[in-house]
């Protein structure tokens, strides 16, 4: 079995609740979506067997918080993800999965080996795609067996109705899950800041814990 891997590197986490943690990043090639704001266009990959990739990861060992499986969408290659995460899990490395949250059946296959799930909610008014609420619901149900938080990119185009749908879903499935509102890194207008402010008020009213966290690695010029 071979996995298609776009890159392997070490850096610090630039998004979400684990912002600033040192991680080894494994960027999987390929994605099942095409979000309007996507900033990870991948054009090439190297092929690795699970053991081969594990040996490469071992070369980095220096007080890392975790191995971050990212993409693209890692769950598109769930069989390979399962094998590599089994190996790192067995070696007591923490496995951190960054995922678009749309492939619940694939998550079921790997969840035993994952420690932290950083899942997206894809708001249709942000992505310009159809909605994924049913998939997100099933995904969050599976992810809730482990530590999980949710990120949603907020753009100029994001509509309040999508936020309301997201908060309802969180309340019904796992009400203590933290929602990160992530401003679109390609936009920084006053109207977006006002929108985030208004969204934060709605989250407070609905009693869902929310943080506004931008993509800090971009601000700092890190990978």
Q: Give the count of beta carbons closer than 10 Å to the beta carbon of residue 36.
A: 13
Sole window of 28-36, 107-115, 159-167, 177-185 interacting with ligand SF4 (rule: CB under 6 A): 28-36
Sole window of 1-9, 32-40, 47-55, 156-164 interacting with ligand SF4 (rule: CB under 6 A): 32-40
76 near 47, Cβ under 8 Å?
Answer: no
> Is residue 39 part of an annotated ligand binding site?
yes
> Tokens 């008014």 belong to which residue?
125
> Tokens 């053991």 belong to which residue?
51
CB of 90 to ligand SF4, least distance (A): 28
Q: If we measure between CA atoms, which residue out of 117, 106, 125, 171 comes closest to residue 149?
A: 117
CB of 129 to ligand SF4, least distance (A): 8
Instruction: By CB under 6 A, name the one of 5, 26, 35, 150 that touches ligand SF4.
Output: 35
> Euclidean distance between the first and final Cα of the chain, in Å?
29
> Is residue 12 part of an annotated ligand binding site?
yes
Separation CA 93–CA 15 (nearest Å): 20
Instruction: By CB under 6 A, name the one of 14, 72, 183, 214 that touches ligand SF4.
Output: 72
Q: How many residues bind ligand SF4 (CB under 6 A)?
A: 10
CB of 219 to ligand SF4, least distance (A): 18
Q: Would you count residue 38 as binding ligand SF4 (CB under 6 A)?
A: yes
Q: Token pair of 85, please?
A: 């995460």
Q: Would you count residue 187 as binding ligand SF4 (CB under 6 A)?
A: no
Cβ neighbours for 127, distance < 8 A, ≥ 6 positions apart: 33, 35, 36, 37, 153
Q: Would you count residue 71 as binding ligand SF4 (CB under 6 A)?
A: yes
CB of 101 to ligand SF4, least distance (A): 9
Q: Would you count residue 101 as binding ligand SF4 (CB under 6 A)?
A: no
In what side-by-side order are the strands of the sheet with 147-154? Answer: 46-48, 3-12, 22-28, 66-70, 95-99, 116-120, 147-154, 179-183, 210-212
> Is residue 199 part of an annotated ligand binding site?
no
Q: Would you count residue 135 as binding ligand SF4 (CB under 6 A)?
A: no
Stretch (H or E) spanning 191: helix 190-205
Site residues, ligand SF4 (CB under 6 A): 31, 33-35, 38, 40, 71-73, 100
| Known binding-site positions | 12-14, 27, 31, 35, 37-40, 70, 72
| Known binding-site positions for Mg(2+) | 40
């Amino acid at each position: 079995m071979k996995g298609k891997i776009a890159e392997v590197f070490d850096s610090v986490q630039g998004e979400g609740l684990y912002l600033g943690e040192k991680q080894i990043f494994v960027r999987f090639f390929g994605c099942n979506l095409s979000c309007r704001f996507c900033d990870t266009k991948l054009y090439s990959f190297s092929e690795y067997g699970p053991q081969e990739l594990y040996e490469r990861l071992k070369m980095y060992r220096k007080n890392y918080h975790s191995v971050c499986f990212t993409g693209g969408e890692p769950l598109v290659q769930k069989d390979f993800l399962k094998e590599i995460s089994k190996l790192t899990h067995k070696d007591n490395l923490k496995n951190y999965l960054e995922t678009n949250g749309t492939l619940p059946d694939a998550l079921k296959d790997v969840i035993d080996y994952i420690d932290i799930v950083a899942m997206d909610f894809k708001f249709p008014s942000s992505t310009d795609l159809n909605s994924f609420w049913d998939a997100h619901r099933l995904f969050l149900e599976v992810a809730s067996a482990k530590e999980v938080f949710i990120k949603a990119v907020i753009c100029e185009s994001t509509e309040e109705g999508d936020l309301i749908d997201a908060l309802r879903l969180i309340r019904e499935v796992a009400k203590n899950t933290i929602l990160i509102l992530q401003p679109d890194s390609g936009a920084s207008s006053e109207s977006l800041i006002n929108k985030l402010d208004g969204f934060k008020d709605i989250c407070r009213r609905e009693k869902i814990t929310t943080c506004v966290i931008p993509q800090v690695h971009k601000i700092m010029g890190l990978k």
